[in-house]
Amino acid sequence: MNAKQCDYEAGSTGQLNSNPGSEVEHLETDGESRRSFLKKMIVASAATAVTGFPYTRAQAAENPSIKFGLLEDRSGNFAIFGINKWHGTQLALKEINEGWTLEGGVQGPGGPGVFAKVAPKPPTENIKEIVNRGGDETKDDTVWNEEDEYLVKSGENGVLGRQLELISPDPESDNSQFQSLARRLILEDKVDVIMAGFASAEREAIRPIMDQNKMLYFYNNQYEGGVADKYTFCTGAIPEQQIVPVMQYMIKNFGPKIYTLAADYNFGQLSAAWTRAMAPILSAEVIGEEFIPLSVSQFASSISRIQEAKPDWLMMYITGQNHSNYYPQADAAGVKIPMGSSINIAQGYEHRRFKAPALARFHVTASYMEEIPTPRNRKFVERWRKMFPDEPYMAMEGHSAYVATHLYAKAVRLAGTTDKETVIKALESGIGVEAPSGWVFMDPATHHLSQYIRLASCNEQHDISFVTEWPYIEPWWTRRLGVNLVRHPESKQYIPDEDPFFKMFKKKGKG
Amino acid sequence: MEREDKRWWQVLNGPQELGRGRVFWCLFTFAALGLLAYPFVGSVFALSNFANFCLYVPMGLGLALLWGYSGVLSFGQSAFFAIAGYVYGIISGNLLDMPGGTLLAAAGAIAASAAIAAAFGYFVFYGQVSGWIIPLLLLVLSLILETFMAQTAGYQWRVGSVLLGGYNGMTNIPSLQIGSSIFGGASIGFYYLVVSAMLITYLGLRLLVNSHYGHVVTGIRDDVERTRMLGYNVNLMQIQVFVVAAALAGLSGVLYVSWGNYINPSSMGLLPATLPVIWTAVGGRSSLLAVLLSTVTLRWLADSLAVKGGEYAFLIMGILLLVTMLFFPAGIVVTLARHWLQRKPERRDLKKNRAP
Amino acid sequence: MPTPSESDGVVVLHAENLTKSFGGIRAVDHLNLTLARSELRCLIGPNGAGKSTLFGLLSGLHRPDTGRILFKGEDITNLQPFQRVRKGLCQKFQTTRIYRSLTVAQNLLIAGGTHTSNRKKNEKLSWALSTLGLDSEHEVSAGKLSHSHQQWLEICLALATEPDLLLLDEPTAGMTPEETALTAQFVVNLNRQALTVLVVEHDMAFVRYIAQSVTVLHYGRIFTEGSLDEIESNQEVRRIYLGES
């Protein structure tokens, strides 16, 4: 890895490393301390000599690895997503163990806009005339340059002198396997952290076990939002970060009449509730809603209802292999209505798996996509594909897993220990990192990550272009419900029905 | 040689089950004692994991009774398992402050499964539905329940203060609790609870199948009309057996949610519906002991495969099933046991007189 | 109608005005039949005379179109077959229906109820088994028995239900003359133990051996009844039945 070196600043990770080697580098060499220098050299050599002996090395076991538990499906229904996330984790662990970390740390709320209106420089001549006429116009310009390189040297291999060891059995897309493997990781392997789950059901199956055992748990997947749990941190995108922006864009560009097509389970139903609630604020209207059972793969009747309703655009919340058959069927039926979504393409790369132009006119707000054209993402893609040349597509959640792993390492370094309660406090201290997608920030109150959201538009040839972006969207919804996990620890998942604002809109009859 | 005073010994060693005589019972007692002594040497995780395998045994034994002894194949045991789990979650979630609330919930859950089974059985057995349609109907019942529960995500889908949770499932279900002892998934108390349930269910069913009632049930399997013509209310008996099997599946369901504090609609899906049938078929549905052994072993196998090599898990299970169907149609354990018995004819002398 | 000397005249079975049609064919036509306790009656008639249908009506496999059946004074017309068996009316079928995959002992256990409850019944059953030579075959799989032994096992199963009225449908079908004689002797002994028996048979040797009274069926009606001698000497009967056989 030939990364361009950024200056390593002790302050940005907030922790001096304790590697004996680097201590030697920082020694002064003036006269008075020459004796102390000598003393230290002797001690350091002795220490190195002692630890050089295999006997003492084995005896000491001074650097047991940090056990990193991962439960992602590598077989079963969710295998394509799980393998992608597993790869992201492996890449991040390799980088950490080889001495790299994401730039960032404890900082104030980050995320300055990349583009902004720049004030012109103050005039130095003809001042009176310029001021009288009001000055030059402001113009759009880059105010903050996103750096090309997101990795910096951490100053040590591993974290706190210990390597991170990945323990990742395969839960086979089976909820009860998640449960028994979670128990195994906690009680038998005694891991220091667990990152697990693709589907919300998988997460909810193990969250009680995490809480019972006070295990630090990361859920790295886009989902319907609402988890407020002292021991859980979520790095995937949530409705206020995806649904609201895509609606803004689609309404502005295509019109106010929305028809929702949603999978008939929690994610689809709750996302549809969000759409219904947000529409009036955005001066739009949901003219029709349909909930498709997960097993359905024939959409002829839905397509005819859509054609009859003539919406301006479609809100798509369909998931799974069966539902993805909608796209070729709609295309064959000649449906040319634009589509907006928070989930397809970015997660399941339908634009690569289906023949053009099935996904034409598709728009999705993604926290990450492989096609993002920034220089730093090009580096990320290069590094990923070097480690995993056969990766079919670098999907959104692989990036979430990658970021979460680095985030955890940073928090442990900050905490100075792997003790879970302390690491949780470190994660709640206001940590942000330079992710390949952009700057992201872990919100202390909600335990959710802010996201750099881009709107991807898919054309007839299935090429992706990013037509607009929201560089920093906070996870504000559970905050509105009063969630503050720093002050009031709890363990539940909120649903929109518990939000009085959402109660104002009832679900229409099934279309 | 009639031994009128040892009638229970005769029934226990009746012909309807494998494993008879003093040697067998010595081994059985030894194994049972070993199970009970395990917590002294096993780690907390090992106990929790093993309990997770054993809690499915009552459901498996119920299916062995229903299919092996009564001749009714059922793909609906997982539905009764999950119904009990959900009902337990609903009742216990609403009775959080009541001491003994979880026990009431457990009773209610098993009763709910039994009641639904009774209703289903009434229509099916009194309606004289053909035997082969019953497994299909039960599978359809499971899938309908799964689809229904999967769309209960909204707030309006709640009973009292407990949300059904839709596809995400019902979470934070309290474990069984007696007084101040909580039978949580990683507790020694739970391990003993599961082992006791397993052994009591096995012994109870063993007594049942060797009793007169059990023999009549076998007669129903072999020839329904004949049994009718011997004066037995066959329809009623079929419902009774069906309800017992459902109640046992419900017991497993209650133990499961006490272990994992969670249930969701996929527990009623296609794969869970077929698993008990696979355990029973691989072990040998004509023997309770065979099904007990195969249930625990196959659960252990699934767990090991997940830990060591997930992508081959389905393949290996599929091959196992295929091999069983081709070479051990009576079940692996049963076939091996029969070979063993054929080699030791003198064992028959140890069996007590069974002539009426 | 001549009653056997052992009977005390109490009516066990009274079927009146029974009619049963299948499609357009009237198998049983306004038939009346009365049996007294401890009677041993034979039912004969040409093929298609309605014997099997009558048995089916008595045991409950068929519902009569008209008429009713009184058993021990109770109207059993609307009772299910298993309920009639409980009342004491048991049929041994023409084709053996035993539990082929179970042993003889298990077959008897199923039929017999709890095996220590009724000593008298146990003794009776033991006697029956030893008479018929089945007592050495307790552990034999029923399907592996010889044909005659299967027939006898079937009779024993019926006996195990402690019937008051035993219906035997061609009990000696497929038996050798020796086996037929043994069966006949057995049935007579049963009858002497206060069991009412109604037998359908084609084998006239068997009928001669056992019958006290004979009923002849023809076209679903009772043609005539009487002692065997009377029947055998009846020209009409000879013509419709004995001539045709």
Contacts of B273 (CB under 8 A, 6+ apart): B75, B76, B77, B78, B79, B138, B139, B142, B143
Which parts of chain C have pLDDT scores under 50?
Answer: 1-5, 114-116, 245
Does residue A222 register a pLDDT over 80?
yes
Instruction: Find out whether C212 and C42 touch, Cβ atoms under 8 Å.
Output: no
Query: Quick one: tokens of A348?
Result: 């399941």
Mean pLDDT in residue range A121-146? 75
CB contact under 8 A, C122 and B231: no
Closest chain A CA to residue B151: A265
**Mean pLDDT over each residue of chain B, to the nearest integer:** 89
The answer to whether residue B148 sits within a structural domain is yes
User: Which residues from chain B sit within 8 angstroms of residue C58, using beta carbons?
Assistant: none
Question: CA of A458: how far to CAs of A323, A464, A505, in Å?
Answer: 19, 5, 32
Question: CA of B280: how far to CAs of A266, B65, B294, B330, in Å?
Answer: 34, 10, 7, 10
C99 — contact with chain B (CB < 8 Å)? yes
Instruction: Find out whether A274 and A239 touch, Cβ atoms under 8 Å.
Output: yes
If you average pLDDT over each of A241-255, A286-300, B38-52, C85-99, which comes out highest? A241-255
**Confidence band for A510, pLDDT divided at 50, 70 and 90:** very low
Least confident range from A122-126, A194-198, C182-186: namely: A122-126
Among A181, A266, A273, the residue with its CB nearest the CB of B167 is A266
**Confidence band for B168, pLDDT divided at 50, 70 and 90:** confident
CB contact under 8 A, C106 and B15: yes
Residue A24, pLDDT score: 36
Residue C29, pLDDT score: 87
Report how many domains make up chain A. Answer: 2
Distance CA A485, CA A211 (A): 14
Per DSSP, C149 falls in state H
C119 — contact with chain B (CB < 8 Å)? no
Q: Scanning the structure block, which residue is given the tokens 């802010």?
A: A450
CB contact under 8 A, A269 and B48: no
Distance of CA B154 to the CA centre of its chain: 33
Closest chain B CA to residue C61: B229
Does residue A11 register a pLDDT over 50?
no
| Domain C1-88+163-245 coded CATH 3.20.20.210 | no
Distance CA A169, CA C16 (A): 78
Neighbours of C22 (CB within 10 A): 10
Instruction: Find out whether C54 and C18 touch, Cβ atoms under 8 Å.
Output: yes
pLDDT tens-digit readout, A27-67: 344 444 555 555 555 554 554 544 444 333 343 455 799 99
Residue A17, pLDDT score: 37
Phi and psi at A87, nearest 5°, equal -60, -40
Mean pLDDT in residue range A465-487? 93
Does residue B324 register a pLDDT over 50?
yes
Whether A262 and A172 map to the same domain: the answer is no
User: Which residues from chain B sit within 8 angstroms of residue C98, using beta carbons?
Assistant: 226
Whether A433 and A388 map to the same domain: the answer is yes
Contacts of C210 (CB under 8 A, 6+ apart): C40, C42, C184, C187, C188, C191, C199
Q: How many CB pairs under 8 A join A and B?
A: 135
Whether A483 and A409 map to the same domain: the answer is yes
**Confidence band for B3, pLDDT divided at 50, 70 and 90:** very low
Residues 150-209 of C with CB under 8 A from B: 157, 160-161
Residue A42, pLDDT score: 53
Whether A382 and A434 map to the same domain: the answer is yes
Contacts of A429 (CB under 8 A, 6+ apart): A106, A414, A444
User: Which residues from chain A sit within 8 angstroms of residue B275, using beta carbons?
Assistant: none
The answer to whether residue A118 sits within a structural domain is no
Please report the sign of the dihedral spanned by the C-alpha atoms of residue A415, residue A418, residue A419, residue A423.
positive
B152 — contact with chain A (CB < 8 Å)? no
CB contact under 8 A, B262 and A188: no
* Best A70, A167, A170 residue to mutate vs chain B (most B CBs within 10 Å): A170
Distance CA A225, CA A227 (A): 6
**Confidence band for B22, pLDDT divided at 50, 70 and 90:** confident
Least confident range from B64-78, B337-351, C9-23, C72-86: namely: B337-351
Whether A231 and A193 map to the same domain: the answer is yes
How far away is chain B from the Cα of A181, in angstroms, using its nearest Cα? 8
Residue A16, pLDDT score: 36
Sheet (strand C74-75) strand order? C25-36, C11-22, C66-71, C74-75
* Domain residue ranges of chain C, discontinuous segments joined by +: 1-88+163-245, 95-160
A171 — contact with chain B (CB < 8 Å)? yes
| Class of residue C173 by CB neighbours under 10 A (exposed 0-12, middle 13-18, buried 19+) | middle
Residue C143, pLDDT score: 86
Buried b or exposed e, range B70-104, using 16+ CB within 10 angstroms: bbbbbbbbbbbbbbbbbbbbbbbbbbeeeeebbee
**CATH number of A279's domain:** 3.40.50.2300
Neighbours of B161 (CB within 10 A): 9
**Mean pLDDT over each residue of chain A, to the nearest integer:** 84
Residue C118, pLDDT score: 65
Does residue A165 register a pLDDT over 60?
yes
Does residue A26 register a pLDDT over 80?
no
Contacts of A240 (CB under 8 A, 6+ apart): A225, A473, A474, A475, A476, A477
Mean pLDDT in residue range A335-364? 90
pLDDT tens-digit readout, A152-163: 898 899 999 999
pLDDT tens-digit readout, B112-156: 999 999 999 999 999 888 888 999 999 999 999 998 998 888 778
**Confidence band for B344, pLDDT divided at 50, 70 and 90:** low
SS3 A35: helix
Q: Scanning the structure block, which residue is given the tokens 């000497």?
A: C233
Residue B84, pLDDT score: 97
Please report the sign of the dihedral spanned by the C-alpha atoms of residue C221, residue C225, residue C230, residue C232.
positive
The answer to whether residue A136 sits within a structural domain is no
Whether A294 and A399 map to the same domain: the answer is no
The answer to whether residue B338 sits within a structural domain is no
Dihedral angle of Cα B200, B205, B210, B216, to the nearest 10 degrees: 160
* Best C76, C109, C159 residue to mutate vs chain B (most B CBs within 10 Å): C109
Task: Give the largest CA-CA distance in chain A.
Answer: 90
Residue range(s) defining the domain that contains residue B114: 19-267
Neighbours of A482 (CB within 10 A): 11
Report how many domains make up chain B. Answer: 1
The answer to whether residue A312 sits within a structural domain is yes
Please report the sign of the dihedral spanned by the C-alpha atoms of residue A181, residue A183, residue A188, residue A189.
positive
Query: Quick one: tokens of A229?
Result: 């749990």
Per DSSP, the residues of B78-112 read HHHHHHHHHHHHHHHHHTTTSTTHHHHHHHHHHHH
Residue B354, pLDDT score: 44
Instruction: Find out whether B74 and B245 touch, Cβ atoms under 8 Å.
Output: yes
**Confidence band for A110, pLDDT divided at 50, 70 and 90:** very low
Contacts of B192 (CB under 8 A, 6+ apart): B36, B39
**Confidence band for A266, pLDDT divided at 50, 70 and 90:** confident
The answer to whether residue B308 sits within a structural domain is no
CB contact under 8 A, C106 and B7: no
Distance CA B223, CA C99 (A): 7
User: In A41-168, where do the E strands start and end?
Assistant: 66-71, 100-102, 104-106, 115-118, 139-142, 151-153, 164-167
Residue range(s) defining the domain that contains residue A154: 66-107+148-237+372-451+476-495
The answer to whether residue B253 sits within a structural domain is yes
**Confidence band for A117, pLDDT divided at 50, 70 and 90:** low
Whether A183 and A319 map to the same domain: the answer is no
The answer to whether residue A140 sits within a structural domain is no
Instruction: Work out the percent of chain A whose per-residue pLDDT is above 70.
Output: 82
Does residue A4 register a pLDDT over 50?
no
The answer to whether residue A283 sits within a structural domain is yes
C118 — contact with chain B (CB < 8 Å)? no
